[in-house]
Amino acid sequence: MGDEPKEPTSFNPREWKTPASTSPGAPTERAAAPDEAPRATPDPTTTSFNPKSWSSGGGTPPTGPTAPPPKKGRGMMIGAAALVGVAVVGGGVWFATRGPSTAPASPTSPGAESPADAPVSEEQRRALVVRQPGDILGALTSVGVPQDEAGPAAGAAVAKLVKKDSDLTLIMMVKPVSGGNHLVNLDARYEDGAGVVVTPSSSGFTAEATAANLKTVIKDVRGEMDAYSFYSSAVAQHLTDSLISPFAQALTFDFDFQREIHAGDVFEAAFENRVNSRGETVGVGRLLYVSLETKEKSRALYWFQPPGGEGGWFDGNGRSTVRSLMRTPVEGARISSTFGMREHPVLGFMKMHKGVDFAAPTGTPIYAAGDGVVQNAEFKDLNGNYVKILHDSGWKTIYLHMSAFGPGIAGGVRVRQGQQIGAIGTTGRSTGPHLHYELHVNDEPVDPMSVPMENGKALAGPALQAFFKERDRIDVLRRAQTG
């Protein structure tokens, strides 16, 4: 089970073109995306810094980005993503701008760092990413700065650095001298640009704080769906991993990504990033606009936060797209059995199937289809572990055969739409991992896939006027991008 709340999504963007596959990505799986370049995480088992595991410019880091191993049907794509990540690690962690040396320093032999054929007096640039200010000393000594310089320099830096939950990029200008590297300048910055610049002074080293310096940059990407998946289509347009799921979620009430999206369909996303002075994206971008155009329909949505209200997606007229219930309450959903009469897979005779079955691997998150109150969350014979939710509309949804309940899910607990209430399993009378999902209207089971959902609320009055202003602002920014 995930340790963070999962956003509602009715499909796995990496898998939707391979419905025959029974191995949708595990919910925690993430490929390395270009601007989520892995930090120089020296060793996943410790948060402290281990100079031995830094990568060299051309090498492969021993721990590397956390790209999952290639799986059937998408090995190429994941492989490519992983390569990008590796390249960024190499470039970001270690490079020299002058001189031929790109070899990493050996922390145990500082003096051996400079290759014999490098001009002895030339300044060299060393870049390293570390976890925290406490790692600066080790970084300095690892590039050959002698202890009697590294100690005071690191001390000066640490004294001026505020601890932040972000890695530090160190740019160290050093000059080879006999027995090591003299420190000419140390620039230590967090992602947002805040940090220190340390220079030698008569009294040792002086540190000067630098302020955060972030700019907001709007980007607009537009592309066509390829023949493989929405994920690969989006990555091809440099839509980052962190924006791909929100993009799909925004449109999940309007499109069935499993069945309604085809190669050649056109998508567009406008988003804003915060960028530091080195041009690097800081934090996670924010989607402003999403659109999708298929042969059958098109939809364009704007993100808007009404004054005093919660932010959400609205169409161009200020109508929210959120419906009372999600269309499919499980990620990576593949319908394995529809609503209606069928031959029962266990009992063998014709029987009314009162719900829809979604096949997915054990452990795949199951979401509350709408806001409501949990009436039951318990094990019961044929149902296995099951949850029943009474929704605000009076409708009920029922989820059977779970392997486990979501965090805090119990009778009487209020849940919101998209909150994880459990995980796919095969408890009770079941032939394999799946969710049996029922929707009851007036206490009668109905086909959840055919019930027309109530339309979203429309903005009105001053909120609508504010929305129009934001919509127009976003449209101007989009046009500026697309030329």
Among the listed ranges 116-124, 374-382, 435-443, 444-452, the one in contact with Zn ion (CB under 5 A) is: 435-443
Asked if 360 and 436 count as a contact pair (C-beta separation under 8 A), the reply is no
Q: Exactly one of 71, 388, 396, 436 binds Zn ion (CB under 5 A); which one?
A: 436
Among the listed ranges 203-211, 355-363, 440-448, 465-473, the one in contact with Zn ion (CB under 5 A) is: 355-363
Number of residues near Zn ion (by CB under 5 A): 2
Q: Does 438 bind Zn ion (CB under 5 A)?
A: no
User: What is the C-alpha separation between 424 and 414, in angstroms, rounded?
Assistant: 21
Residues 410-429 that bind Zn ion (CB under 5 A): none
- Phi and psi torsions of 131, nearest 5°: -75, -40
Nearest-CB residue for Zn ion: 436
Each residue of 181-215: b (16+ CB within 10 Å) or e? bbbebbbbbbbbbbbbbbbbeeeebebeebebebe
DSSP state of 319: B
Site string for Zn ion, 304-343 (x = CB under 5 A): ----------------------------------------
Shortest spacing between CB 354 and Zn ion, in angstroms: 8
**Of the two residues 101 and 397, which places its CB atom closer to Zn ion in the complex?**
397
Among the listed ranges 97-105, 251-259, 309-317, 434-442, the one in contact with Zn ion (CB under 5 A) is: 434-442
Shortest spacing between CB 423 and Zn ion, in angstroms: 17
**Of the two residues 74 and 436, which places its CB atom closer to Zn ion in the complex?**
436
Q: Does 357 bind Zn ion (CB under 5 A)?
A: yes
Shortest spacing between CB 430 and Zn ion, in angstroms: 8
Place of tokens 């990029």: 169
Q: Which residues share a beta bridge with 331?
A: none
Among the listed ranges 20-28, 30-38, 229-237, 349-357, the one in contact with Zn ion (CB under 5 A) is: 349-357
Where does 44-167 show beta strands of DSSP type E?
124-130
User: What is the C-alpha separation between 301 and 321, in angstroms, rounded?
Assistant: 8
What number of other Cβ atoms are within 10 A of residue 289's Cβ? 22
Q: Computed from CA positions of residues 414, 420, 422, 424, in that sequence, does the dihedral angle turn out positive or negative?
A: positive
DSSP state of 161: P
**Of the two residues 277 and 431, which places its CB atom closer to Zn ion in the complex?**
431
Shortest spacing between CB 341 and Zn ion, in angstroms: 13
Shortest spacing between CB 433 and Zn ion, in angstroms: 12
List the one residue out of 475, 381, 460, 392 whose CA is nearest residue 427: 381
Instruction: Give the binding site for Zn ion (CB under 5 A).
Output: 357, 436
